[in-house]
Chain A
Amino acid sequence: MKEILYENEHLLPGNIGKFMVVLAFVSAIGSAVSYFFGEKNKDHSWAKLGRLFFVLHSAAVVGIFISLYYIIQNHLFEYHYAWQHSNKALPTRYMISCFWEGQEGSFLLWMFWHSILGIILLFRSKAWESSVMAVVSFAQIILGSMLLGLPIGEVTIGSSPFNLMRDVLDAPIFQKENYMTFIQDGSGLNPLLQNYWMVIHPPTLFLGFASSVVPFAFSVAGLWRGKFTQWIRAAMPWTLFCIGILGLGIVMGAFWAYESLSFGGYWAWDPVENASLVPWLVVLAANHVMLIQRANRNHLLLSFILVIASFLLVLYATFLTRSGILGDTSVHSFTDLGLSGQLLVFVFFLNLLPILAISKKRIESFLIVFFFFVVCLLNFFFPQDLRWLNISAFILLNAFFGWRLYHHLPLSRQEENIYARGFWMFIGSLILLLSAFQILLTTSIPVFNKLFALDLAPPIDVIEHYNQWQLWFALGVTTLTSIGQFFSFKQKKKGKYQKTLLILLILALFLGGFLWWQMGFSWKYGLLIISSLYAIFGNLFYLLDIQKIRWKLMGGSVAHIGFALMIVGVIISGTQKEVISQDKSGILEKEFDLNMAGENLLLWKNSPTSLGPYLVTYRGDTSIGPDIYFQIDYEHKNGKEKFSLFPNAQIGEENNLMANPATKHYISHDVFTHITSIPIKDEPDEWKNEITQIVGIGDTLDRKGLKVIVESIEEAQDLEIKADLIARATIKVLSVNGAKYAYPKFFINGNQSFTVYDALEEEGLLFTFRLNPQNSGDMNIVLNTAERPAQPDYIIMKAIVFPWINLLWLGSIIMTVGFGISLVKRMKDV
């Protein structure tokens, strides 16, 4: 077969990229092996070599990043990734978002953060370096292999972002040398990702995900070296970093959903959202358990288990969101690249690390690895149905690990006193874990379907299903954050703060009861608001009176206050939100349920409509690039408040509307506005039925059954056209929507005269006029009118008022600051 010489391809950036991928992979292996021997032989020269390899690896990762960015920026659509995720119209500021639309780009981003974190560890992990970096490098080998795109027999390991179109797609056009002339543009980035928040939210979330590898690496290092408790001190700043950044990423995601998605809310218990919340809850529990361990040596076993579990849950979250297994249950759709099997194998792989680290005998390690490979081989040769074997293998390995941990660790057998802080922190952590467990279960329904050949669908009312559980967990956690700090770690008897706690409780009961009465919560939410206020008061008092605002110590209390404030914001905005775009017109229909007013309302252009406390008017649309902005004027019925919102939309293929909401933010509430539908604008008909007649000022004509009144003619100015005389007519049309005005113009310049028409599209009327000089010196007004079918101009929109939603955002900021303060304190501890 003759090789085809393709024209106009740019192969260099792709080849550089592919080389960088291989280099990154090989140098990660080099780094892992060197660090491994550095740790094993306590040989510093090996560790030095590992360091060199890791720096090389990081440089290669940056190289991959630059190559791919170059390809996207220069619109090299011969590359499948660029073609699939970008196009020429994509503004430069959103090009970076192409990295997270695709699976390869996401793994690349993850690797990039691991590299950065690894470089920081080179400087900061000190004595732990070789063992911790061996683990991080091992994780990098695994992530790196996801980008290899290396075919081995039938299977391909990983998927390369540098594949050419003609490698990926099997279409006849790739037989032509000049196929590039047919590929002029890419298929573009999802408009939902073309948003400011989508530029910063995914990298933040991924940094949070990526940072969970560090505590994991420290725990493995602790097992490996037999330093079963010392690793916790070194890992704590990283646990806090992970909680802070992951939490920030989740809140940013919620804010993005609120600002740019159409569902009218910030949290929908969607599986993709849950998948990032579960690891966060587990890391949070891990952090508290580690704190207790540092204070009184209890809960060492749980510290290990939770740190390892949180890392595995991050991998599981990636598997859930990236494997396509969520299928019908999530609104987020990610395409599967056939990597899900590989991803699962790697979860097992990483799961092996702590198990191997605790096995001190060579024969034992050998047996575990052998067992693992037998399972892998069986799966490779009999891919049909080995799920029971896999589940049993997974459980068996981890049960073995748990048993080894239990026997190896210097566990304290002393029971916690119920007047000690550790006891209540432990209970709080258990509640966090139960909360994570409940979310994880229901989110995993599609996985259970696959594993156990079930056919379950998610609950009909998902929100209620989660809320009915999570409400009680939130109640428990908020109450404990308030009480817990008033006990000390060594306390044995009732403390001196009983009275204080009681006074604070009464305070919370008063304020919470007032809000409850004012806003009419159901009793469950009433209790939760009281417990959240109790948490705020308790932590505030602790901060001010007991800690005396020593900023190094106040991280915990600040984070607790932020958390409780978030809960208050969630309850108020969630229960008090009001859809003000109630449409009751459909109720007249026979089959319509009486208590079901629609949530979408039709607004005619320029016709004020009553929406809750506002008079709302749709003023028209303007196009800026591919976006159409709709101007919607709000005026409060009390006349004091006035604002305009500009929700926008893009019209996609087949007239599909892709709309972004707009929100007016006040301190006390938000007014959320979203376009749900607009009329399809067809190619307009020709103007016809032209009538020319001589008219006078004040004359009334009849066109299409509408009254047309010639109101006045004045001399006017025009910004663009210079003329000796410019006349402007004011023509009033009385339509069903009230009076409308058209302003046609007439120009005289020297001997020449010309007209500029004005049309009322909604009425389908067009006007032009001339002034004809008469012998008497007067002017005749010659009016020309034409008509065509009216183009209705209206929008269908939804508007929601969210009260006190700012408490949620404020709370999340305060919480993040709290984590930051704790992080600084724990860093100084190391």
Chain B
Amino acid sequence: MNKTYLILLVVIALGMGAILSMYGDSSSYVSFAEAQKLQKEVHVVGQLVQPDSILYEPLENPNYFTFLLEDEEGKTKKIIYRNAKPNDFDKSEKVVVVGKMNGANFEASNILLKCPSKYEAEIAQQ
């Protein structure tokens, strides 16, 4: 039965490895204040409170997009995303930014959008 146990042991070890790696690689949802402290890549969930702050000037630089985001503690930071402005951005109310703080600004490597379901808004208008 030695072989069976050996295989079982390897499988369990790999399974545990997968669990540990899931836990170790996982990031966390934090506020800007914590992101400042941690100085590593994190997820920040926030609201677009100032639609006027959305700035994308493709003629100047098509890979530079900034806006102001208010996190769940009510703190607002400038987000810099060195890429084109994501489609559907203006429609989204909730935004998740992935990245880290760089001085006073948040350098986003990725932006995830949550759009409100469009039909609720329409019916409200009627």
Mark A residues whose CB is within 8 Å of B.
83-84, 169, 171, 173, 182, 187, 262, 327-328, 331, 333, 335, 415-416, 418, 427, 430, 434, 437-438, 441-442, 445, 455-461, 465, 468-469, 583, 585-586, 589, 592-593, 596, 598-602, 652-659, 676-677, 679, 792, 794, 796, 798
Are A187 and B122 within 8 A (Cβ)?
yes
List A contacts of B112 (CB < 8 A). Answer: 328, 331
B18 close to A182 (CB less than 8 A): no
Name B's A-contacting residues (CB within 8 A).
1, 3-4, 7, 11, 14-15, 18-19, 21-23, 25-29, 41-43, 45, 56, 58-59, 61-64, 82-85, 87-91, 96, 98, 109, 112, 114-115, 117-119, 122-123, 126
List the B residue with the shortest CB-CB distance to A444: B22
Contacts of B89 in A (CB 8 A): 656
**Known contacts A415-B1, A465-B25, A796-B58: does B117 contact A586 (CB below 8 Å)?**
no
Q: How far is the CB of A696 from chain B (nearest CB, A)?
A: 38
Q: A328 to B45, Cβ gap below 8 A?
A: yes
Name 23 interchain pairs, CB-CB below 8 A, sorted by A. Answer: A171-B126, A182-B126, A427-B7, A437-B15, A441-B19, A441-B22, A455-B29, A459-B27, A460-B41, A460-B42, A460-B98, A465-B21, A586-B63, A586-B64, A586-B82, A598-B64, A600-B84, A677-B62, A677-B84, A677-B85, A792-B59, A796-B58, A796-B84
Contacts of A592 in B (CB 8 A): 82
Interface centre among A328, A445, A455, A585 (most CB of B within 10 A): A328
Q: Is the CB of B22 within 8 A of A445?
A: yes
In angstroms, Cα B88 to Cα A465, docked, is: 28
Closest to B117 in A: A335
Known: A331-B112, A656-B88, A796-B58. A599 touches B7 (CB 8 A): no
Instruction: List chain A residues, Cβ under 8 A from B82.
Output: 586, 592-593, 596, 598
Choice from B19, B84, B117 contacting A676 with Cβ under 8 Å: B84
Among A457, A598, A657: residue with most chain B CB under 10 A: A457
The answer to whether B126 touches A173 (Cβ under 8 A) is: yes
CA distance A662 to B29 in the complex (A): 36
Q: In the complex the two chains form, is B84's CB within 8 Å of A798's CB?
A: yes
Known: A441-B19, A658-B87. 7 other contacts (CB 8 A): A84-B119, A438-B22, A460-B42, A593-B82, A677-B58, A679-B58, A794-B58
Expressed in whole angstroms, the minimum distance between the Cβ of B78 and any Cβ of chain A is 12
- Structural contact, B126 and A434, CB atoms closer than 8 A: no
User: With A427-B7, A434-B18 in contact, do A460 and B63 touch (Cβ < 8 Å)?
Assistant: no
Known: A415-B3, A602-B59. A434 touches B28 (CB 8 A): no
Contact yes or no, A602 B18, CB < 8 A: no
| Inter-subunit contact A469/B18 (CB<8 Å) | yes
- By a CB distance below 8 angstroms, the chain A residues around B45 are 328
- Do A599 and B63 have beta carbons less than 8 Å apart? yes
Q: How far is the CA of A84 from the CA of B120 in the complex (A)?
A: 10
A445 & B26 in contact (Cβ 8 Å cutoff): yes
A602 touches B58 (CB 8 A): yes
A510 to B91, CA, bound (A): 54
Least Cβ distance of A449 to chain B in Å? Answer: 9
Taking the closest CB of chain A, its distance from the CB of B29, in whole angstroms, is 5
Report which of A187, A418, A430, A601 forms a contact with B3, defined as CB distance below 8 A.
A418
